[in-house]
Amino acid sequence: MSIETRLNMVNDSVLDLIGNTPMVDVSVLSPKPSVRLVAKLENQNPFGSVKDRIAKAMIEAAEKDGRLQPGQRILEPSSGNTGIALAAIAQIKGYPITILMPTSVSVERRQMLQIFGADIVLTPGEEGSNGAVRRAQEMAEKHPEWCFLYQYGNDANPRAHYETTGPEVLRDCPEITHFVAGLGTSGTLMGAGRYLREHKPDVKIIAIEPPLGERVEGLRNLEDGYIPPVFENWNGFELLDRKRVVRPRESIEWTRRLVAQTGIFAGLSSGASLAGAIKVANEIDEGTIVFIICDGGWKYLSTGAYTDDLDVAEAAAEKIIYF
Ligand SMILES: Cc1ncc(COP(=O)(O)O)c(C=O)c1O
């Protein structure tokens, strides 16, 4: 890169660095030479995950429509990335913020929230993320003066992906035939998926889910009793071509292979998406499968997911909430 180009790259704010993440060919992991695998590196966002996009979008939308006034408290249930990104942006912009998270999340995530100045309310680990959502809803009713952003129902979440993630994927990889991503709030799949469907109708949209009752970081099974309003509002059942179920063990295995063979150090939901992409690759003759690296591996180091014996790591994954 020339010095001149670099001079043009001074940004006004770290918020301007959100999005426009790089894509990289990881076909070395593909089971067939005729199927290309491409990763979109959302871990390269400034606060570390794909959720930087929606945190910025939800806060800016609430500022615009007057629901968020200067100094007003923000409230959100999040066991990880959304909370971290919201807390970072709230701190820069001067909003106090309360994040509800289950006790069972990794210590690094709690530390990140502390660094970014959030007030943390711990909810019972056995209730999982659904419990944190429920308790946040109760808290929002008690505190109507707070701004409850609610990523599961906030239209700015899928819209951020419709306006940025989807267009970036098609711009950088126009030969895409399959889009694979994990399903949490469903924002990534609904937003980027709809954009791809509208602009390249043949692209297949594939959601990765854990089996019912098993945990894979950041992901939910739609049959577990809660369908995010974002999924319903964006006609998720029509948009998705299919779902692929990925078990915690496969997620850990593919997360480890990813770092070993490509150098990409990712969180476990990225390994789940990669495992799903490999299943798709095994079923097709040729194509280009794009999958999302949601976040980096740093926040999960203490869980032993990368270093423990696979059986031990698998057993731990059942207890730890990774997102
Ligand atoms: C690590 C991780 N992976 C995947 C997801 C799923 O993304 P989405 O909420 O857009 O469906 C999330 C968030 O829910 C996440 O934090």
What single string gives the DSSP state of each residue in 249-308? HHHHHHHHHHHHHH---B-HHHHHHHHHHHHHHHH-SSEEEEEEE-BBSGGGGGGTTTTS
- Residue where a domain stops, chosen among 122, 148, 174: 148
- Closest Cα to atom 6 of ligand 1: 184
Do 267 and 235 belong to one domain? yes
Place of tokens 């602009």: 199
Residue 206 banded pLDDT, cuts 50, 70, 90: very high
Check which CATH number belongs to the domain holding 103 and give it: 3.40.50.1100
Query: Domain for residue 19, yes or no?
Result: yes
Is residue 260 in some structural domain? yes
Q: Is the domain of 236 the same as that of 307?
A: yes
CA of 184 to the centre of ligand 1 (A): 5
> Which position among 186, 269, 270, 273 bears the catalytic label?
269
Domain count within the chain = 2
Asked if residue 154 is part of any domain, the answer here is no
Q: Measure the CA–CA gap between 147 and 95, rounded to whole angstroms.
A: 10
- Looking at residue 240, what is its pLDDT? 97
- Do both 175 and 291 map to the same domain? yes
Query: Mean per-residue pLDDT for 243-251?
Result: 92
Rounded to the nearest 10 degrees, how much is the dihedral formed by the CA atoms of 240, 244, 249, 250?
-100
What confidence category does residue 214 fall into, taking pLDDT thresholds of 50, 70 and 90? Answer: confident
Do 206 and 282 share a domain, yes or no? yes
For ligand 1, say whether the CB of 267 is within 6 Å of any of its atoms: yes
| Per-residue pLDDT, 319 | 57
Domain-terminating residue out of 115, 148, 181: 148
Same domain, 304 and 195: yes
Mean pLDDT on 159-167: 98
Nearest to 187 by CA among 89, 58, 67: 58
Structural domain contains residue 157 = no
Tell me the average pLDDT across 10-16: 94
Percent of the chain with pLDDT over 70: 95
Helix (H/G/I), strand (E/B), else coil: 210: coil
On whether residue 153 sits in a domain, the answer given is: no
CA distance to 72, 236, 252, 271, 303, per residue, from 274 (Å): 40, 21, 10, 5, 20
Note whether 186 and 306 are same-domain residues: yes
83 in contact with ligand 1, CB cutoff 6 A: no
pLDDT at position 1 is 46
Confidence of residue 4 (pLDDT cuts 50, 70, 90): low
Catalytic annotation on 51? yes
pLDDT range class, residue 232, cuts 50, 70, 90: very high
The per-residue pLDDT for 7 is 56
- The confidence score (pLDDT) of residue 2 equals 52
Any catalytic annotation for residue 49?
no
- Segment 231-257 shows an average pLDDT of 95
Chosen domain end from 148, 179, 204: 148
Quick: pLDDT tens for 70-80: 999 999 998 78
Verify whether ligand 1 is closer than 6 Å to residue 210 (CB atom).
no
Cβ–ligand 1 distance for 269 under 6 Å, the answer: yes
Judge if 113 and 180 occupy the same domain: no
Question: Quick check: CB of 217 below 6 Å from ligand 1?
Answer: yes
Considering the domain architecture, whether residues 178 and 32 belong to the same structural domain is answered as yes
Q: Are 223 and 305 in the same domain?
A: yes
Residue 5 has pLDDT above 80, yes or no: no
Which member of 40, 49, 51, 204 is catalytic? 51
Residue nearest atom 4 of ligand 1, based on CA coordinates: 218
Residue 158 lies in a domain: no
Q: Give the atom of ligand 1 at the shortest distance from the alpha carbon of 183.
A: 11
Q: Is the pLDDT of residue 318 over 80?
A: no
pLDDT of residue 315: 79
What is the longest distance spanned by two Cα atoms in the chain? 57
- Token readout for 55 is 């945190």
Round the average pLDDT of the chain to a whole number and report it.
92
Based on the fold, state whether residues 39 and 55 are members of the same structural domain.
no
Tell me, in angstroms, the distance from the centre of ligand 1 to residue 299's CA.
Answer: 14
Spatial distance between the Cα atoms of 171 and 137, rounded to a whole number of angstroms: 38
50-69: per-residue pLDDT in tens?
999 999 999 999 999 999 99
Q: How confident is the model at residue 321 (pLDDT cuts 50, 70, 90)?
A: very low
Which residue's alpha carbon is nearest to atom 14 within ligand 1?
184
Tell me: pLDDT of 196 over 90.
yes
pTM exceeds 0.85? yes
pLDDT at 51: 98
Q: What is the mean pLDDT of residues 87-112?
A: 93
Is 155 a domain residue? no
CB of 302 closer than 8 Å to CB of 115? no
- The position carrying tokens 């948009």 is 239
Give domain status of residue 98, yes or no.
yes
Q: What is the pLDDT of residue 269?
A: 93
Whole-number Å distance, alpha carbon 125 to ligand 1 midpoint, is 19
Q: Could you identify the atom of ligand 1 that is nearest to the CA of residue 185?
A: 9
Asked if residue 140 and residue 197 are part of one domain, the reply reads no
pLDDT tens column, 141-150: 999 999 999 9
Instruction: Measure 293 CA to ligand 1 centroid, in angstroms.
Output: 10
Q: Are residues 211 and 315 in the same domain?
A: yes
* Domain that includes residue 58, residue range: 51-148
Atom of ligand 1 nearest to the CA of 54: 10
